[in-house]
Amino acid sequence: MVLINKIYLLLIFGLVFQLGNAQYISVDESFTALQLVQDKLINSPCANVFNVTVSGGNFASGEKSYGYFEATGTGFPFTNGIVLTTGKAINTIGPNASLSDDGGNMGWNGDSDLNQALGLTNTFNATVLEFDFIPQGDHISFDYIFSSEQYLLNPSANQCNFTDGFAFLLKRNGDTNYQNLAVVPNTTIPVKVNTVRGPGTICPPANAAYFDAFNDINHPTNFNGQTKVLTAQSDVTPGDTYHIKLVIADEGNYRYDSALFLGGESFNFGVDLGEDRLIANGTALCPTQTLSLNATQSSAISYQWFQNNIELYGETNPTYLVTSAGDYSVTINYGGNCETTGTITVEYAVDLIVNQTRFSECDNDANQDGITAFNLTDIIPDLFTNLPSNYTISFYELTTSTSALPSIYTNTTPFQQTIYARITNIQGCYSDYPIDLIVNIFPTTITDEEVGLCENTSTILDAGSGFTSYTWNTNPIQNTQTITVANPGTYSVILTNASNCSKTKTFTVTPSGIATINDIIIIDFSENNTITVDYTGISTYVFSLDGTNYQSSPTFTNLIEGAYTVYVKDTKDCGVVPATFYILDYPKFFTPNGDGINDFWSIKNLNQRNLQNGTIEIFDRYGKPIHQINTRNQVWDGTFNGVNLPSSDYWFQMKLADGKIIKGHFSLKR
């Protein structure tokens, strides 16, 4: 039983080991140069290949710097192919867990043709695969990936220009100079670490669209990063002899190896039918346009055209006229099993149907001058009923403008302006489309209001008439001009006018109520008789002595003797509270001449202030007491012991029940 368990564990371990290895490429160094080129890189009966050689590192342990790789099931873009490296080919195998750093102190030279192609003088450790060939078609191409340890995820600034060099050098027999096919697409820039690099490090990205990734440990190869699959290609003359040299080398020193992975059977002796005609590239055909494809080859025996991998019966001429979109290919037979192909993808621009060309916005600022911002990106989906998602639309102020308007554009002509929509990624198929930008206004002035809510009542909020819709922030939403509210709070309503423009009006509803008068503080018998209303309440109040004219201050000054009523009114119209008070003062003179007018001197309304129990003593100018006013004798007639006193100034002293004493003087006039 124990033995069976051990065998079972060994089987499981072996299976895990095999599954683990399956995620990394494998390398076989046993193939000859001819086998690598003829069987692995080309593998075509049309191949006329000779003078095949390969050279690289002479490692003492017998390893090579080139070989055949297999990558089935690893996720690597190529299933198989050829690897050329500046170190040991076997060290290109993943995971990316160690530094591939071979070739030191070996006397392993660089390559003079690579130096010349890249303008270098310091290459080392060159691996070269070269051969002669005679093409049947007029075009050759093959796929490759450039991988390198010098794609550093955390480089220092001085490492940003570290790179190795490689080139795919092609020349026709008899020509002097090579052409380098290993360039950034649509440029003459050689592919290197510092010319194809993605973002994410302190080093600047370069042609990042062609960079694949910085690698973690679990990668099929033992390199820090690599390009995407790139294609080297060139036009050639059928029947002429060409020499191609595939070379890679360390630059500067042997440190940090790099490698070329050439896609298996990707070397194609085909025919060039031209660049793909794509919407994304701006080269798609216009709706009624045709395209003539020419696959003529001087030594061809037959042709067969296909659309979307379906044979086009009867289309056996060297030319074909494209009238609809599709993936087109032609198979060219040169006799026996020798066939080459050419491919091209043709897309057609859509015949656009205009949906909407007038777009409006509301002028939402205060001055309502017909100028506002438009989000032109939001306009695009409504322009056409059949706009494909990959069409690029920009807007221009004039049909002659070359600078596109920003996505957030503020019109320069008030209220209405015409701009132009232009399809920018399909050239020549469409004219500019005029677009009208309309600016509507909301001219009505809207003023926020503060409203009082009287205790135990409700109030009506009126948003005003003349609007097409009302949207209150109540729960549930109400859509009427007026609403009734019973609770304090902030209420807002969106007012929309006939131009579909809106403004928001806010009502601040605050609790309110009538005041409570606690006391009336009176200062009288003075040069400036004054009262102050002592009140409490939850609202704001105004004050009046006549019930008509109100003031915000509860204090009234310069009051004369007499009876008054003070009114305290809630500013939110919850009510008015009155209170009566009396200002006391003494007459400054009296005229006891028997005419019935002002014949007696007294202080009025003492009883209204509960001061009637006080006594008032009157003195002549010498301080002699001459009369006393009390509850029994409430006035003085200007006599003393029945005799009229002369005109003069007299003094009085009033003693109140609380002990307060009031003094003053007055005149007797006869």
Rounded distance between C-alpha atoms, residue 407 and residue 393, angstroms: 11
Nearest partner of 379 among 398, 405, 403, judged by Cα: 405
Q: What is the DSSP letter of 208?
A: G
Given 269, 288, 308, which residue is the final one in a domain?
269
Same domain, 404 and 366: yes
In single-letter form, the type of residue at position 102 comes to D
Same domain, 257 and 382: no
Q: Calculate the CA 566 to chain-centre distance.
A: 63
Q: Say if 14 falls within a structural domain.
A: no
Q: Say if 255 falls within a structural domain.
A: yes
Residues of the chain predicted below pLDDT 50: 1-20
Rounded distance between C-alpha atoms, residue 534 and residue 519, angstroms: 5
Identify the pLDDT of residue 22. Answer: 60
Same domain, 275 and 419: no
Same domain, 579 and 656: no
Nearest partner of 115 among 129, 102, 126, judged by Cα: 126
Nearest partner of 141 among 258, 292, 272, 9, judged by Cα: 272
Mean of all residue pLDDT scores within the chain: 91
Q: What is the DSSP letter of 183?
A: B
264's CB contacts (< 8 A; 6+ apart) are 40, 41, 43, 78, 79, 80, 81, 82
Nearest partner of 235 among 310, 139, 340, 303, judged by Cα: 139
Q: Say if 15 falls within a structural domain.
A: no
Cβ proximity of 256 and 225 under 8 Å: no
Residue 208 backbone dihedrals phi, psi, to 5 degrees = -65, -20
Same domain, 413 and 284: no
The β-bridge partners of 120 are none
Rounded distance between C-alpha atoms, residue 389 and residue 132, angstroms: 47
3-class DSSP assignment, residue 489: strand
Q: Say if 17 falls within a structural domain.
A: no
> How long a stretch of residues is the chain?
670
Are β-strands 589-590 and 661-668 bridged in parallel, bridged antiparallel, or unpaired?
parallel
CB-based burial, 620-658: b 16+ in 10 Å, e otherwise: beeeeebbebeeeeeebebeeeeeebeeeebbbebeeee
Q: What is the CA radius of gyration of the chain?
A: 53
Identify the pLDDT of residue 3. Answer: 32
Q: Say if 352 falls within a structural domain.
A: no
Q: What is the DSSP letter of 174?
A: T
Q: How distant, in Å, are the alpha carbons of 230, 283, 322, 369 from that of 184?
A: 8, 20, 30, 52
Q: pLDDT tens across 438-448, in order? A: 999 999 999 99
Q: Say if 562 falls within a structural domain.
A: yes
Same domain, 505 and 567: no
Identify the pLDDT of residue 21. Answer: 52
Which CATH number is 338's domain given? Answer: 2.60.40.10
Identify the pLDDT of residue 255. Answer: 86
Identify the pLDDT of residue 402. Answer: 94
Rounded distance between C-alpha atoms, residue 78 and residue 638, angstroms: 134
Identify the pLDDT of residue 14. Answer: 38
Q: How distant, in Å, are the alpha carbons of 199, 609, 615 from that of 631?
A: 107, 14, 8
The β-bridge partners of 615 are 655
Identify the pLDDT of residue 247. Answer: 97
Rounded distance between C-alpha atoms, residue 114 and residue 111, angstroms: 5
Given 543, 568, 583, which residue is the final one in a domain?
583
Q: pLDDT tens across 461-496, in order? A: 999 999 999 999 999 999 999 999 999 999 999 999
The β-bridge partners of 253 are none
Q: How distant, in Å, are the alpha carbons of 117, 238, 599 from that of 170?
A: 11, 15, 140
Nearest partner of 21 among 107, 97, 121, 94, judged by Cα: 94
Same domain, 91 and 113: yes
Q: pLDDT tens across 330-369, in order? A: 999 998 888 888 999 999 999 999 999 999 999 988 889 9
Identify the pLDDT of residue 272. Answer: 87
Q: Calculate the CA 133 to chain-centre distance.
A: 56
Identify the pLDDT of residue 4. Answer: 34
Same domain, 525 and 499: no
The β-bridge partners of 220 are none
Q: Say if 640 falls within a structural domain.
A: yes
State the total domains in the chain: 6
CA atoms within 13 Å, Cβ hemisphere of 151: 29
Nearest partner of 481 among 501, 503, 462, judged by Cα: 462
Given 440, 458, 487, which residue is the final one in a domain?
440
Same domain, 422 and 405: yes
Same domain, 61 and 151: yes
Same domain, 242 and 105: yes
Q: Say if 133 falls within a structural domain.
A: yes
Same domain, 414 and 298: no
Number of Cβ within 10 Å of residue 27's Cβ equals 21
Assigned token pair, 92: 């290109």
Containing domain of residue 431, as a range?
A: 358-440
Which CATH number is 620's domain given? Answer: 2.60.40
